[in-house]
Amino acid sequence: MSNKLRRLNPKQAEAVKNIGNPLLVLAGAGSGKTSVITEKIAYLLRDCEYDPASVIAVTFTNKAAREMRERITKMLGEEYTSGLTVSTFHTLGLKIIHSELKNLPYQRGFTIYDSEDSINLVKEVLRIEKVSPDFADQFRWQISTWKNAMISYEQALEMAENDLQAQAARIYKAYDDYLKVYNAVDFDDLIVVPVNLFLQNPEALERWQNKTRYLLVDEYQDTNACQYTLVKQLVGIRAAFTVVGDDDQSIYAWRGAQPENLRLLVSDFPTLQVVKLEQNYRSLGRILKVANHIIANNDHIFDKKLWSDKGYGEPLKVVACDDPDHEAQKVVTEMLHKKFIEQATYNDFAVLFRGNHQVRTFEKAMRAHRIPYKVSGSFSFFSLAEIKDLMCYMRLVVNPHDDAAFLRVINTPRREIGAKTVELLRNFADDKMLSLHQVIIDHDVSKVLPARSASRIKEFAQWLKDISTRSKTDAGDIILRDIIRDVGYESYLTDSCKDIVSARKRMENVKDLIDWVKSIEGENGERTLDHQIAHLSLLDLLEKNEDEEESDKVQLITLHSSKGLEFPHVYMVGMEEELLPHVASMDEDGIEEERRLAYVGITRAQKTLTMSFSKRRRVGAEIVERKPSRFLLEMPQDELEWEGYNENKDPAKVRERGKAHLANLKNILG
């Protein structure tokens, strides 16, 4: 056994060394799955002498992929890892699309639509179909659901049970037709397109199966139907793979995740072996006992029971509060007390909540007590207006058929091309089923536009043609600087900002973008704008909700976003019926997913866990009485200490708690 493997426990080492069969590693919370994946990649490259270019590791976030690659490179060095693919599913999909472009109906420089672009395109389709844009979100969600389930619009139309469903299918087709006209793909297409390519092109499939000697997949329980199909396609009959997952942490059904993919592995790969990682390296024993107890109420594909050798720990607290304001004050007060007693830092603490609407009350309490905090996902560099403007300019330069980008920049900065002109141009393009760029290039727009507007449109088209030509040879950062200069963007920022300080700050953001573009190189060292904008567009999509700031702040984070994280001290708030479990999840499947969500929250805690709920909460215009979550009542009650709810008033216990509190005060005071 390699010296490296001696750091692993027997089950972890078994998972690493098993390469002769398809393998499922059932990895409980805090069981060291990342170590297993990275050690296994190292084992394949170092001990088994696999070519790095033949090993692919896939996960769900850009951050996780980056950290995994960094760990492997630190372990082995660049000589072992050059050519290794460690990426998200969507980044891998983009790589396949770029590699197989000649076999796909897209041109070089295709655009990747983000959620805003997709919604706007759906709205455009709805406008043409004379359907209210108020339903755009629902239609976009339905289209995404169909794509992830590998349901074509023909199948969707055939499955329709009423006029509304049939209409959704028609909108789905029109939406996809327009994407092709605009030489664009949406986020879901980054998986759907490779899957469909492999279904229709055996040569391309064989090419990628030969490239994929071994495949590793992290967070496998979060895969949807389309992602699982891609996995099966890449591994083929060789079935050389390891997937790591935990059905107890499957909490993303709402975005298409299918925990039953774990069950499908058994039938699809009869020689599948299962290794269970049950030793937890994160939490104290009492926390794990409560977690095991609650999750045992769910049906299981595979049984497991987490355990720890870290000691047992203090009882878990359950605090009943009068209302959300009282709850926030209780949490903040206890947090400050614990911070002082244990000499903890603020980033040792996390407040976990079911819905974003809960966070404002806690923000208010944190500010009142001058506690620094961070709301997870509250900032995105790519959401800044100046960055979105310039990203759209770059997208348009590499793909002039990108109507979403065209519409954002055509009058930014102002070119005296008004909304009426744009509307006339859009209607003309819709009638011809062409992109806006095709219309202004191939048609005499002076016939449908006022002369002055037509002239300005033509000027813009000529500029776009010139700079698009230069972008094929000049470096991307040079092209971006040219865009900023040509359109007078710095002057525009100065004029549109309320003061010079704001303008200067926004221009600093622009300079950061230029530096970022300059730093991006393609696989063959090219620095052309088409490769750079594709990289940035995907990064935007993958990291919209990732704030890289490292500082001493309390984390305010949803239960969904907390997965994969850990904190010494955790507060799970709003543990009430109709909030956790959520009122919209009261059927059997919904309750099981909500219970898994509670399980994820509990297993984030390393040392202490405090759970709280409000006895009363405003719902709409009414104040309603609330009951504690059923999940609190499912927990082993002898492991809990309740406060403020059916509290035991035994005088001896009151005196005991009083003495303990007095002793703590004496310790504080020396």
Q: Report which of 520, 531, 533, 543 is spatially closest to residue 62, judged by C-alpha positions.
A: 543
Question: Is-cis flag, bond preceding 581, omega within 30?
Answer: yes
How far is Cα 253 from Cα 270, in angstroms, rounded to an integer?
26
Q: What angle do CA 610, 613, 619 make, to 5 degrees?
A: 150
How far is Cα 327 from Cα 333, in angstroms, rounded to an integer?
10
Cβ atoms of 461 and 437 closer than 8 Å: yes
SS3 425: helix
Q: In Å, what is the CA distance from 503 to each residue of 186, 488, 490, 517?
A: 33, 14, 8, 21
How far is Cα 404 from Cα 396, in angstroms, rounded to an integer?
9
Q: Give the residue numbers annotated as catalytic, written as ranges.
A: 33-34, 218-219, 249, 604
How far is Cα 380 from Cα 306, in angstroms, rounded to an integer?
36
Q: In Å, what is the CA distance from 262 to each residue of 16, 222, 272, 280, 301?
A: 19, 10, 11, 21, 8
Please give, one letter per residue, the 3-state secondary structure of 427-443.
HHHHHHCCCHHHHHHHC
Cα torsion 115, 118, 120, 123 to 10°: value is -130
How far is Cα 156 from Cα 129, in angstroms, rounded to an integer?
18
How far is Cα 130 from Cα 118, in angstroms, rounded to an integer?
18
Question: Facing residues of 631 across strands?
Answer: none
How far is Cα 115 from Cα 173, in angstroms, rounded to an integer?
18
Question: Facing residues of 55 across strands?
Answer: 214
SS3 565: coil
256 Cβ neighbours under 8 A, 6+ residues apart? 144, 145, 148, 149, 224, 225
545 Cβ neighbours under 8 A, 6+ residues apart? 376, 377, 380, 561
Helix ranges (H only) for 161-243 are: 163-181, 189-200, 202-211, 225-235
**Pairing, β 349-353 against β 567-572:** parallel
SS3 610: strand
Token readout for 264 is: 């499908």
Q: Report which of 605, 26, 598, 603 is spatially closest to residue 298, judged by C-alpha positions.
A: 598
189-200 and 225-235 helices, crossing angle to 10°: 40
Residues in the chain: 670
Query: Which contiguous run of DSSP H or E holds residue 39?
Result: helix 33-42
Q: Report which of 537, 441, 505 is spatially closest to residue 190, judged by C-alpha positions.
A: 537
Q: In Å, what is the CA distance from 365 to each residue of 325, 370, 447?
A: 8, 9, 61
Q: Report which of 581, 80, 627, 607 is spatially closest to residue 294, judged by C-alpha positions.
A: 581
How far is Cα 491 from Cα 51, in angstroms, rounded to an integer?
52
Amino acid identity of residue 611, one-letter, is M
How far is Cα 410 from Cα 464, in angstroms, rounded to an integer?
11
How far is Cα 51 from Cα 213, in angstroms, rounded to an integer?
9
